[in-house]
A and B are shown apart, each in its own frame.
Chain A
Amino acid sequence: MDTFLGRYKNLIVLAAILFAQIIALAVQVRRPTQGGDTRLLRLWAISAVTPVEKAVVHTQKWVHDTWNTYAYLRGVRRENRELRAEIDRMKVEDARYAEDARMARRVQALLAFKEQYVDTTVAAQVIGTSGSEQSRILYLDKGSKDGIKPDMAVITPAGIVGKIVQVFSDSSQVLPINDQFSGVGAALKSSRLQGILRGASNGVTTLQYVMSDEKVEPGEEVITSGGDRIFPKGLPVGKVVSVEPGKDLFLNIRVVPSARLDQVEEVLVVTKITEKMPDSKDLGPLRASDILAERLPTVPAKPEVDATGKPKPGAANGTASGATSATGTAATAARSGAAATSAANKPAAGSSTAVASKPNGAATATHGAPSGTTAGSAGAPKAPKSAAAGGTRPAGTVAKPLNGAGMATAPHANPTAPVPSPSPANRPANGGETRPPSKQSKPVPEQPPNANPQQPSTPPNGEQPPQ
């Protein structure tokens, strides 16, 4: 026995060490750490190393900044001139974007669209990495003392970087988007196709779960979709560099991240995301063209029929125009009061929007619905008064005609919610409140659908559309 142990001592020790580590692996895989839990060994190691890393990084940064600020000033004048020229150019662009943004906010307000804003961020410095190719973890110099929590988004002005996975008192770990364990809800900017951006062990990021019959071009921008509830919607992610057919009917879309993940040194940790409605006070008057531009076509609904099989009068089932398929049934909403479908026909621009359910259950926003109706249009000879069932605007409610277009919403759970609209005609619809017909109320004009969808129809009674 002694001879055996002596002869194979080395191998026995090797086997024992390997066995112990395999058992340790098995235990960890079986009981993975949840949430912010950390192995004690890791906590000690990281706590011991972090001060050293911080000291080295901050000293290096100080030296670098001092040199660049006071000593190395070559080319600063030229750079200053170039930057001024760029500022002038961007001012011109800014004016155009501001107008676009105002229009977008008006439409968002109209649709009661809640938008996520990056509210508060904490600037942090990258002080370390995992040091291996297989794991791309980054270490930041900010931790729980600075308000950092797990699952917070980490971004740079160029694009997203990753998310916080573990937080210590003075440092935190970031899982970059190119790590093999990372997944980000992403969408293609122009086509709005959504997928999941995944990393790989070799650091390549791919957008997955986009069907192979979709058309995706290299160079297309990828943004966050907001579906992961970590990154706010619309942040830049990267650009498509190649598209290949993958397996299981999905495309294999390779994406190059916008943020230089191999050079990132300073990042912003999003500590607070605010979800709010766009402020409609400063948006100016609502323009019919803005609304019509954002209208979406709806699926034509079957006309309501009575017992004899004839179409019910007032059922908004008219086809808008030959060029468009803007049809809808206001009567659908009237049918049960709980139905989530209501629509209005808008022959003017040949499009209609049916807002079936609002994010916050906000009540009706019936811009331009002809007076006396909740949902009505020139395309529908008579909109049913009962369409106001369930908390939508009752019959006789003031509604400003808007280019003959109407948009109606179905009853909601919270009919008292305010309707965000700059138009005075759109007041919050109170569920049980019935207002008498106003002087502004006008009868629904019977107007044939506009055959030319490009040509806005004349508003009822020759009124000019509100600008």
Chain B
Amino acid sequence: MSSRVIPFRGSLTSRDQAAVHEFSWPAVIFIPLVAVLIQIFIPVRARFLPIIDLPFMVTIFFAVARRHPISGCLTGCAIGLMQDLFAGPSHPLGMYGIALTIIGYLASSLGLKIDVENPGSRFIITYLFFVAHQGIYYGVAHGLLGQVQQWSWSHVAISALANAVIGIFVFKFLDRFKQR
């Protein structure tokens, strides 16, 4: 129900302090759930939409808003495992879980150092973390499970761009759920 103010440990921004936002429990539970539901439902009508990764965006949003690495880890883990549940029998539980756990940790750690409230930094963060997310997933699938995966830099770059652009609007919408 409140937002704390913590000093920046880094110097990547002109601001000296940044707010640590908190969310209500219903928001913490239902926002990721709705994101996963939309993710599995929307592509029925528009099959190109899987390149838009709403659960990934929600993970980033919660991680940078809370600025707490453990919280970021757990949120990423939970959302990733939810995605794994619907990915089919050939997709073991944990592939997205591992990827989003790491992304949640990195995003919340980065949130401690830089200002992530303005659209420009959100765009860059989303873009870079999407590439990292794809790389981690590829590493898990290819390295740990031995699955044959295609890696295309152009496809990843375009997907990251699309997610970064849409992420700005999604973050703007999710800002409403912050408790100040």
Which residues on A are within 8 Å of B, measured CB to CB?
9-10, 13-14, 17-18, 21-22, 24-25, 28-29, 33, 38-39, 41-42, 45-46, 49, 52-53, 56-57, 126-135, 137, 139, 165-166, 173, 175, 179-181, 200-202, 261-263, 265
Contact B95 A130 (CB under 8 A): no
Instruction: Give complex CA distance A181, B91 in Å.
Output: 10
Q: What residues on B are CB-neighbors of A139 within 8 Å? A: 40
| B14: interface (CB < 8 Å) | no
Chain A residue nearest in CB terms to B104: A14
| B50: interface (CB < 8 Å) | yes
Which residues on B are within 8 Å of A, measured CB to CB?
36-37, 39-41, 43-45, 47-48, 50-51, 53, 55, 69-70, 73-74, 77, 82-83, 85-98, 101-102, 105, 109, 137, 140-141, 144-145, 147-150, 152, 155, 159
Contact A132 B83 (CB under 8 A): yes
Which of A10, A21, A28 has a CB less than 8 Å from the CB of B70?
A: A10
Instruction: Give complex CA distance A330, B43 in Å.
Output: 63
Further 19 A-B residue pairs, CB within 8 A, beyond A130-B86, A131-B43, A261-B47: A9-B70, A13-B69, A13-B73, A25-B98, A28-B92, A28-B94, A42-B86, A42-B93, A56-B41, A127-B44, A131-B86, A132-B50, A134-B141, A201-B149, A202-B150, A262-B47, A262-B48, A265-B44, A265-B45
Given A25-B145, A28-B92, A130-B40, A10:B69 Cβ within 8 A: yes
Contact B95 A25 (CB under 8 A): yes
Most B Cβ at <10 Å: residue of A129, A165, A179: A129
Minimum CB–CB distance from A150 to chain B (whole Å) comes to 10
Question: Main secondary structure on chain A at its contact with chain B?
Answer: mixed
Contact A38 B89 (CB under 8 A): yes
Instruction: Give complex CA distance A253, B69 in Å.
Output: 48
Contact A17 B88 (CB under 8 A): no
Q: What residues on B are CB-neighbors of A135 within 8 Å? A: 87-88, 90-91
Instruction: Give complex CA distance A199, B16 in Å.
Output: 52
Contact A128 B44 (CB under 8 A): yes
